[in-house]
Structure 1
Amino acid sequence: MSLYTIVEKEGIKYLIFEIFTNTGLVEHVFTTRIGGVSAGHFKSLNMAFHVGDDPAAVAENRRQACGALGAGLEDLVAGQQVHGTTIFRVSSGHRGRGSLSMEDAIPETDGLITMEKGLLLSSYYADCVPVMLLDPVRRAIGLAHAGWKGTVGRIAAKTVQSMSCYYGTDPGDCLAVVGPSIGPCCYEVDAPVLERVEEGFAGRPELVKQTAPGRWRLNLWLANRIALVEAGLREDNIVVTGLCTSCNQELFFSYRGQTGACGRMASLMMIK
């Protein structure tokens, strides 16, 4: 099975994942930086309003990405991501929240779930880990934004647990993608972060590798895989793309690689 395919459609490039496509149940993409109309540090498919880009350009970029899924911008739902572990259950009354500005996005939310058709869940990234979830039995979906804080707080597992609570999801049925994000090749952390990782993932020394005095490389991909498996997902139902955003800045925005001033990619997912 191919882990992912890079698609170019109407001038924009995005990734799709065979594990989801094969079900026929959802539309989904993970955008790249290729396409769109943004300029400067945000060139050119910046999907986020909060980074200082021209709001009209962001809205147009989002329209183009939504169009690739056969959706309208009015179908999109976004959260105000704060590197937390709060999960929000999205229903039809939330359609369009955060689609045209940050102000009306779902407050303080890093995870979104739904089982309603035609609602386009969205989440935004430039090194943090996108976790995309599909329960093909109950026909429910979830997105989680997992930076190091969210990863240590096990937002991936909490998203699965929320799907179980609200929709009756059996974690053993779930399919998951751990998408493009900063890899263990590039993600260096200090002692305070290491301490939090060791608290959250006790007995998992394979997650870190010391590179210099007081410096370690952290494997967020593996940490999120571990969290998903411990939440009840089957190993063979989890796809880790292995694409590092910092190593592939021609294709992706990278907060660390671009020293902070950059756009954001988006994970988008909708039940047909």
Structure 2
Amino acid sequence: MAQLYINNEHFLAGITIKGDGEEYNNMAFYTSENPQAVLKNRQQLASEIGYSLQDFVCPEQTHSANFQKITKQHKGNGAENQTSAFPQTDALYTYEQGIVLSIFTADCVPIIITNAVTGLCAVIHSGWQGTVKEITSKLLQQLIKEGNHPADLQIQIGMALSQQRFEVDTDVYKHFQALGYADDFMYFHEPTQKYHIDNQLTVQRQCLLAEVPLENIQIDRTCTYDTAHGFSYRQQKTCGRHMIFVVRK
């Protein structure tokens, strides 16, 4: 049900994959025809990783640059229904143990941040809008202000839409160009008159600009469009969502 990115003495983190379960293992209520199926999928995941569903915290993602610090009092928010999800929030972070932070993607870039020195863990949902709004940069700035040294941060960029599949018109291209550091990750395809953008590498550049060492950044280059295990909004608008999760043990 889940592919693990991190499983060490400090943290557990991973991404659920599309499969044969209810609604193909969809984890998001807001794209579900049967919310009870999503609830069942989430309960199965919780059991698989050794936590209760009431340990999970989920946001209501709106492609914003908003993030929220999570504490134990927030446990269960958005876990069993959409109405209690954190409103207008696209990134979560905590220093406390036993809180499973979660976000949802289907082509957008998921980012997991951990710091074994401070006990920090975080998840970010960065679609193209989140990237041009610099949600990752803004959260990193806040985390560094709170005492997280960039050299202590470990970053996992999860599977997302590949540059080959992420084709856009001039309006989106201009948003990325305006960042001033994304030109290396874009090209123009003459036959289709479309631009192709590597959102993962743009996010990686944002991490590097925050002085996170390159060797601390891992990228899963699996394309959500091309893999049988991926949910892709670009391929099918009504698709389900992966859940990306991280918890401090």
Same structural fold, with TM-score higher than 0.5 when normalized by the shorter chain: yes
Task: Determine the C-alpha separation between the residues in 1 that align with 2:153 and 2:31.
Answer: 33
Structure 2 match to 1:81: 61
Q: Secondary structure at the match of 2:102?
A: strand
Structure 1 match to 2:247: 270
What percentage of residue pairs aligned between the two structures are identical?
28
Task: Determine the C-alpha separation between the residues in 1 that align with 2:149 and 2:40.
Answer: 38
| 1:243 paired to 2:222 | yes
How many pairs align?
248
Tell whether the 8 Å contact from 2:106 to 2:160 is kept in structure 1 after alignment: yes
Which amino acid is 1:125 matched to?
T
| 1:179 paired to 2:158 | yes
Q: Secondary structure at the match of 2:88?
A: coil
Which amino acid is 2:177 matched to?
E
Deviation at 1:204, TM superposition (A): 3.6
Task: Determine the C-alpha separation between the residues in 1 that align with 2:205 and 2:181.
Answer: 12
Task: Determine the C-alpha separation between the residues in 2 that align with 1:26 and 1:53.
Answer: 33
Structure 2 match to 1:257: 235
Deviation larger for 28-37 or 236-245: 28-37
For structure 1, list consecutive stretches of 5 or more residues without a partner in the other structure. Answer: 1-11, 39-43
Name which of 4, 15, 30 aligns with 1:50: 30
Structure 1 match to 2:16: 31
Q: Secondary structure at the match of 2:244?
A: strand
Which amino acid is 2:22 matched to?
V
C-alpha deviations, 1:144-201, integer Å up to 9, x for none?
Answer: 00000111122122222232334x211111000110100111100110001110112x
Tell whether the 8 Å contact from 1:46 to 1:265 is kept in structure 2 after alignment: yes
Q: Secondary structure at the match of 2:178?
A: helix
Runs (4+) off by over 3 Å: none
Task: Determine the C-alpha separation between the residues in 1 that align with 2:123 and 2:182.
Answer: 25
Name which of 110, 133, 153 aligns with 2:90: 110
Structure 1 match to 2:4: 16
Task: Determine the C-alpha separation between the residues in 1 that align with 2:189 and 2:46.
Answer: 41
> What's the TM-score, normalizing by structure 1?
0.88
Task: Determine the C-alpha separation between the residues in 2 that align with 1:163 and 1:269.
Answer: 16
Task: Determine the C-alpha separation between the residues in 1 that align with 2:55 and 2:21.
Answer: 19
> What's the TM-score, normalizing by structure 2?
0.96
Which amino acid is 1:32 matched to?
I
Tell whether the 8 Å contact from 2:176 to 2:182 is kept in structure 1 after alignment: no
